[in-house]
Homo-oligomer: A and B are copies of this chain.
Amino acid sequence: MPRPSQIEEQTRKLIPIVCQVFSELGYRRATTAELAGRCRVRENILYRLWPNKKAMFLAAIDEIFQARSVVWSQLLEDSQTPEQAMQRIVRYETIHQGDSGFYRIVFAALTETDDPEIQSALTGMYRRFHKLVCHHVDAGRNPGHSEAILSAESAAWGLLGLATMSNIIRELKLLPKRQREKMFEDVAECLMNSNDS
């Protein structure tokens, strides 16, 4: 009998690194040589873990949602009220946005949407994110506001769009940090209709 394979274990260990490299460099410039180098292995080892570069990219897309939802659930673990929850997420995202550079993966993926596998990976990721945000928006809405203007679904899409825009602003330095943060909070508040007067 041979020794037992450690492929799964190694795969799990390398995914965050692969994800990181795609985040920094995008698809085109994240060459297989670069990926291997950063993973401290040779190229052919990557090809034992994934059949091709696209599969590595798909794994990175999945990792994004996983990582972010871990962070969020940690944030929410000690939230007393659901109203607090969304505020916390917004505040966290306001500050830490783009730290992981994961939106670069999303942008790279969005230029490859004619590939059915990439498209469905992205679609799945967005659906899960939307559902999650939707849930928190719903829970976090101030009950005092009997008649919300926006449905939670629309508000959640708006928030995802806001987060995207905020990442772009940050990346292109379109606004100084403070202003960007204020913009994010103001628009998020407006969308969630949590502005009690």
Q: Chain A 144-185, CB within 8 Å of chain B: the 1/0 string?
A: 000001110111011011111110110111100000001100
**A173 and B28 within 8 A (CB):** no
**B158 and A165 within 8 A (CB):** yes
**A110 and B168 within 8 A (CB):** yes
Inter-chain contacts of A55 with B (CB < 8 A)? none
Q: A155 vs B161: C-alpha distance in the bound complex, in angstroms?
A: 13
Query: A130 and B27 in contact (CB under 8 A), knowing A110-B107, A150-B186, A160-B165?
Result: no
Q: A118 vs B169: C-alpha distance in the bound complex, in angstroms?
A: 15
Q: A130 vs B183: C-alpha distance in the bound complex, in angstroms?
A: 13
8 cross-chain pairs, A with B, having the tightest CB-CB distances, nearest first = A161-B165, A26-B111, A161-B161, A158-B187, A107-B107, A107-B110, A154-B183, A161-B162
Provide 19 A-B residue pairs closer than 8 Å at the C-beta atoms, listed in order of the A residue: A26-B111, A107-B107, A107-B110, A110-B168, A113-B172, A123-B172, A126-B168, A130-B174, A149-B195, A150-B186, A150-B187, A154-B186, A157-B169, A157-B187, A161-B187, A164-B164, A164-B165, A190-B191, A191-B191
Task: Given A107-B108, A110-B171, output 6 extra A-B contacts at Cβ < 8 Å.
Answer: A126-B168, A151-B186, A154-B187, A155-B187, A160-B165, A161-B164
